[in-house]
Amino acid sequence: MATSVRSAAAPRRLFPSIPPAIAGNVRGLGHFGARTGPRGFRGLSMVFADSTRRRAKEGDSVLGAPVLGGPGAELGDQLSVVMKFGGSSVSSAARMEEVAGLILTFPEERPVIVLSAMGKTTNNLLLAGEKAVGCGVIHVSEIEEWNIIKDLHIRTMDELGLPRSVIHCMLDELEQLLKGIAMMKELTLRTRDYLVSFGECMSTRIFAAYLNKIGIKARQYDAFDIGFITTDDFGNADILEATYPVVAKKLHGDWVQDPAIPVVTGFLGKGWKSGAVTTLGRGGSDLTATTIGKALGLREIQVYVWKDVDGVLTCDPNIYPHAKTVPHLTFEEATELAYFGAQVLHPQSMRPAREGEIPVRVKNSYNPKAPGTLITKQREMDKVVLTSIVLKSNVTMLDIVSTRMLGQFGFLARVFAIFEDLGISVDCVATSEELDNVVEELEKIAIVHLLQQRAIISLIGNVRRSSLILEKVRNTNHLINLQTFHVLRKSGVNVQMISQGASKVNMSLIVHDTEAKAIIESLHQAFFEDDVLTQVEAENWLVG
């Protein structure tokens, strides 16, 4: 089991200080909540997460890269900014033109561009692969998603006025791969990663060719060829330390020798043992961008992450459309937000930024004038109570009550040992069979209730004030709690578990899936719209 207990505050220290029904979260172990009986600790609950286009003149130096035929940038110029564009930002020829225009609005910068696959290409590749397994070789050419991918990329090249030869070979190879999958009737994790890598490999080739066509010298790179070295965990690979110097050397070396804007595939790496293409988990291009930021290591470097929203918002706008932009976040808050399910950032993406102290700006490529969200090491937290509300749906909650009075430590150790023996991470159970095995083993030492279709609502907030939650919650004197419960009581909602994160940046509520959306709306209104929790109240609470 991934026992990456994130805090020294292991159960031994957490539980005694936590009143009944208040729980902890251990990174990598998911949520767990203490249950207490008349004689102290009895068991725990766990939760499972089943432009304007400008044409450059020869002789200009655009963004530090020479206009084709021009004199070249000065040696010694350094790459100064990383810009990542997500799938929606490069979903069509028109979007690519806009993105090129947007890059040109940063004339002082010498950017590295990181791209995701066009639009929904990654999903379509995955679906095409699944269909290929069962459709037979002769039917591969009829797979709907394969045809969508092919048409989108060919249309984009035609509309951008590029020769089809730019990715002709890749499309051929992709079709061959789908036929190979159909022939073998299997799609391994390794093959799946290779399959989805075509998305980023094609989008970057098209975009680099387009920049060159409009006169801005660009060079395409496949991340797995320039030193993105990862673990061999296909589908969710981790970037290894060796990546940073190798990537920096390659990008800087090429830039100094022959300046051209690097256009790098997001999301991809190369497994250090297998040598095969790996992927960094869905949304992994954010991580590619911050990794390059750290690799380049210049003090003034910034990473821009361009999305289809005005930055990180107070909640997912698809759940509640009145979400507001959060202007400033710390790396820690952004990490918690992503970890607890906000799709807007890859959960690992803040790690290189935090380590390298690289500021990250989340911006909207559809609305570049909006200031977006700035993510840095620190920010002024005095006035902050709650930052964002995050929803993780379709989770399963395990209620585990000790059958014997084994004592807190012995019981917990045995519970966690079962997970370790079965090699299962509390936070991520892939199949119901895995969960069945856990339940079978746990039932030998506990009464176990499996509660499905639950949702985790995480309230990401002020680290310092959250710390006080743990101390003050006993008196139920705490504003966030009062406020939250007031809202929940008004909504007639039954909260099944509350968990205070070990990081003390978040507090999570477990509720029924069907109630989650309405609760988020109420909480959002109370915390971000009604201004009920005024500064004065917050300050009174702090001193009180």
Ligand X SMILES: Nc1ncnc2c1ncn2[C@@H]1O[C@H](COP(=O)(O)OP(=O)(O)O)[C@@H](O)[C@H]1O
Closest to 87 measured CA to CA, from 289, 306, 236: 306
With a CB cutoff of 8 Å and minimum separation 6, the contacts of 68 are: 58, 212, 215, 217
The bridge status of strand 386-402 relative to strand 446-461 is: antiparallel
Q: Which of ligand PHD, ligand X, none lies near 284, with the C-beta cut-off 5 to 8 A by kind?
A: ligand PHD
Closest to 112 measured CA to CA, from 78, 77, 82: 82
- Nearer residue to ligand PHD within complex by CB, 198 or 411: 198
Report d(CA 357, CA 536) in Å as an integer. 33
Single residue of 45, 80, 89, 330 touching ligand X by CB under 6 A: 89
Give min distance, CB of 336 to ligand X, in A: 11
For ligand X, how many residues bind (rule: CB under 6 A)? 19
Structure-token pair, residue 80:
């100064």
Q: Which of ligand PHD, ligand X, none lies near 122, with the C-beta cut-off 5 to 8 A by kind?
A: ligand PHD
Give min distance, CB of 294 to ligand PHD, in A: 17
347 near ligand PHD (CB under 6 A) = no
Single residue of 309, 329, 375, 446 touching ligand X by CB under 6 A: 309
Residue with nearest beta carbon to ligand X: 86
- Nearer residue to ligand X within complex by CB, 316 or 427: 316
* Segment holding 363, helix H or strand E: strand 360-364
DSSP code per residue over 194-218: HHHHHHHHHHHHHHHHHHHHTTB-E
Give min distance, CB of 86 to ligand PHD, in A: 3
Give min distance, CB of 370 to ligand X, in A: 12
For ligand PHD, how many residues bind (rule: CB under 6 A)? 12
265 near ligand X (CB under 6 A) = no
Give the interface segment with ligand PHD, choosing from 54-62, 114-122, 412-420, 534-542 (CB under 6 A): 114-122
Binding mask 258-277 for ligand PHD (x = CB under 6 A): --------xx----------
- Positions 366 through 395 that interact with ligand X (CB under 6 A): 388
Single residue of 282, 379, 472, 517 touching ligand PHD by CB under 6 A: 282
Q: Where are the alpha helices (DSSP H) in 423-503?
A: 432-442, 463-472, 479-490
86 near ligand PHD (CB under 6 A) = yes
Binding mask 142-161 for ligand X (x = CB under 6 A): --------------------
- Positions 199 through 258 that interact with ligand PHD (CB under 6 A): 199
Q: Which of ligand PHD, ligand X, none lies near 352, with the C-beta cut-off 5 to 8 A by kind?
A: none
Q: Are 51 and 97 in contact (CB under 8 A)?
A: yes
315 near ligand X (CB under 6 A) = yes
Identify the residue whose tokens are 């959960």: 347
Q: Are 107 and 63 in contact (CB under 8 A)?
A: yes
316 near ligand X (CB under 6 A) = yes
- Nearer residue to ligand X within complex by CB, 3 or 343: 343
Identify the residue whose tokens are 């766990």: 46
- Nearer residue to ligand X within complex by CB, 116 or 496: 116
CA distances (Å), origin 47, targets 3, 20, 390, 406, 426:
16, 17, 16, 22, 7
- Positions 317 through 356 that interact with ligand X (CB under 6 A): 317-318, 342-344
- Positions 431 through 490 that interact with ligand PHD (CB under 6 A): none
* Mutual angle of helices 165-184 and 189-213, in 10-degree steps: 170
Q: Which of ligand X, ligand PHD, none lies near 503, with the C-beta cut-off 5 to 8 A by kind?
A: none
Give min distance, CB of 296 to ligand X, in A: 21
Length of the chain, in residues: 544
- Nearer residue to ligand PHD within complex by CB, 66 or 87: 87
- Nearer residue to ligand X within complex by CB, 236 or 467: 236
Report d(CA 533, CA 544) in Å as an integer. 15
Left (φ > 0), alpha (ψ -120 to 50) or beta: where does 76 sit? left
Instruction: Determine the Cα angle at 59 with ends 53 and 61, to 5°.
Output: 60
Query: Residue-wise over 87-113: b if at least 16 C-beta within 10 A, else e?
Result: bbbbbbbebbbbbbebbbeeeebbbbb
- Nearer residue to ligand X within complex by CB, 163 or 327: 327
Q: How many Cα neighbours within 13 Å face the side chain of 343?
A: 11
Residue with nearest beta carbon to ligand PHD: 87
Q: Are 303 and 84 in contact (CB under 8 A)?
A: yes
What are the residues binding ligand PHD (CB under 6 A)? Answer: 86-87, 116-117, 122, 199, 266-267, 282-285
What residues make contact with ligand X under the rule CB under 6 A?
A: 86-89, 116, 283, 307-309, 312-313, 315-318, 342-344, 388
